Amino acid sequence: MKAAILGATGYTGMILLRLLSDHPEIDEIIAVSSTRAGKSIKEIDPGVYTAVEKKMQSTDVKLVSVDEAAAMNPEVTFAALPHLESAKICGPFFETSVVIDLSADFRIKDPVIFEKAYGQKPERQDLLDAAVYGLCEIYRSDIKKANLISNPGCYPTATLLPLIPVIQKFGACGKIVANAMSGISGAGKKAVFNNLFVERTENCGAYAPGKSHRHQPEIKKELDAAASAAGKDLGAEGANLFFTPHLVPLKRGMEITTILDVPEDMAAGLTDEAIDALYTEYYGNSPFVAWDANRFPQSRDVWAANSCRIGWRIEGRSLMLFSTIDNLVKGASGQAVQNMNIRFGFDETAGLRIYGEL
């Protein structure tokens, strides 16, 4: 199969180059860059060029332009582009391709919420309406039929996987406090002061707390949808989510610590066994999700893996959830490949690692 990567020079694009080089079902990789077409992969990403050259059986693979790529009729297109650019660029690829989009452009269908988060109306409401939210373990059956898959953000993936089963079982949980720690690659490959090594090493802190981060509405709408699907009433305002991200000096990795109280009348049902059974019900057949009571997963456990690890602790009627992913893999490019695997009927783990690098 022929795969195109739009935005192959960014961090998520670079991970896609690696994953697709190793993918047994991919024969050809079309690496696309609007600004650096014509350059050799070797110049752009000296870490991966030997792998791409081997896959392509070529001694010099070059980046191509968007137009050139569209003319090559890829069967799957990964759009690893900045927010608000993706929707403008990926149009031509729908003719031949399933499009898996890693930006935020097709995640929030409600144009009011979209505009609040991203400062403008969606570029392509038509495409947005048709997009399927690619949180694999939750929407697997929809993904199988989708032609536009909107890959979730890294914070939403790591926050939602442990939370959705809990919300669907326990319903209204009052205030949900989720604190996230993220590696710096989550900010993308942008040459700005704030991302410099000297600024970020030996430094940590919160940003965009409470309800002010763009991913807060993305998480909230999924919690609301999950409750609704399960017939649980979260009240007029829906989930009362406080989500606070923190930057920590990691290259890759993410951990979410969430605390919520289950309703008083359901407190007796809040046991380690019940939570274990709940996750078994939801994720028993999901190769990338693992969980344990009273264990607190470390971000390294899933470094470079497409996995999500979940732990929890119960204190009275309070439930603390701990979850970790690699923000560039399960939080971006790996989940995109998993979506491709699901969509095209490949083994769901094809080309993806389930172990964390040391």
Q: Which of residues 264-323 bind a second copy (CB under 8 A)?
A: 287, 290, 295-304, 307, 309, 313, 315, 318, 320, 322
Residue 235, interface with a second copy (CB under 8 A)? no
Q: If binding is defined by CB under 8 A, does position 336 make contact with a second copy?
A: no
Q: Which region, judged by CB under 8 A, interacts with a second copy, from 114-122, 204-212, 228-236, 272-280? A: 204-212
| 3-state per-residue secondary structure call for 70-94 | HHCCCCEEEECCCCCCHHHHCHHHH
Residue 205 vs 345, nearer CB to a second copy: 205
Q: In this structure, what are the phi and psi dihedrals at residue 327, rounded to the nearest 5 degrees?
A: -60, -30
Q: In whole angstroms, what is the distance from residue 139 CA to residue 256 CA?
A: 21
40 binding a second copy? (CB under 8 A): no
Quick one: 129 or 315, whose CB is closer to a second copy?
315
Q: Which stretch binds a second copy (CB under 8 A): 58-66, 94-102, 149-157, 180-188?
A: 180-188
CB of 295 to a second copy, least distance (A): 8
User: Which listed range, 69-77, 90-98, 206-214, 272-280, lies at the site for a second copy (CB under 8 A)?
Assistant: 206-214
Instruction: Please report how close the Cβ of residue 43 comes to a second copy at its closest, in angstroms.
Output: 10
Considering the rule CB under 8 A, would residue 144 count as an interface residue with a second copy?
A: no
Q: Which is nearer to a second copy, 51 or 56 (CB)?
A: 51
What is the sign, positive or negative, of the torsion defined by CA atoms of 245, 249, 253, 255?
negative
CA distance 158 to 149: 18
Q: What is the largest CA-CA distance in the chain?
A: 66
The DSSP H or E segment spanning 206 is strand 205-206
CA distance 177 to 296: 17
Q: Which of 3, 4, 8, 15 touches a second copy by CB under 8 A?
A: 15
- Residue 75 near residue 93, CB atoms below 8 Å: no
Kindly state whether residue 21 participates in binding a second copy, applying the rule CB under 8 A. Answer: yes
What is the nearest approach in angstroms of a second copy to the Cβ of residue 145?
28
Angle between helices 215-229 and 111-118 (to 10 degrees): 150
Q: Is 41 in the site for a second copy (CB under 8 A)?
A: no
Which DSSP string corresponds to 240-252?
EEEEEEEE-S-SS
Determine if 199 is a binding residue for a second copy (CB under 8 A). yes
46 scored as a contact of a second copy (CB under 8 A): yes
Q: What are the residues whose beta carbons fall under 8 Å from the beta carbon of 264, sequence distance 6 or more?
A: 317
Question: Binding-site residue total for a second copy (CB under 8 A)?
Answer: 79
Show the tokens assigned to 156.
């939403």
Position 335 contacts a second copy (CB under 8 A)? no
242 binds a second copy (CB under 8 A): yes
Judged by CB under 8 A, the residue of 121, 233, 249, 285 near a second copy is 249
Contact 312, 321 (CB under 8 A): yes
One-letter amino acid of 334: G
Task: Restricting to residues 61-120, name those near a second copy by CB under 8 A.
Answer: none
Site string for a second copy, 154-173 (x = CB under 8 A): --------------------
Angle at 92 between CA 87 and CA 93, to 5 degrees: 90
351 scored as a contact of a second copy (CB under 8 A): no
Out of 57, 141, 205, 264, the residue judged to bind a second copy by CB under 8 A: 205
Q: Which of 154, 173, 204, 308 is catalytic?
A: 154
Q: Of 14, 66, 100, 108, which lies in the binding site for a second copy, with binding defined by CB under 8 A?
A: 14
Q: At what angle do helices 215-229 and 154-170 cross, to 10 degrees?
A: 30
Active site residue 136: no
The DSSP symbol for 333 reads I
Nearest alpha-carbon partner for 287 in 255, 330, 225, 246: 330
Quick one: which of 261, 272, 241, 257 has its CA closest to 170? 261
Pick from 58, 111, 116, 196: which binds a second copy (CB under 8 A)?
196
Catalytic sites, residue numbers? 154
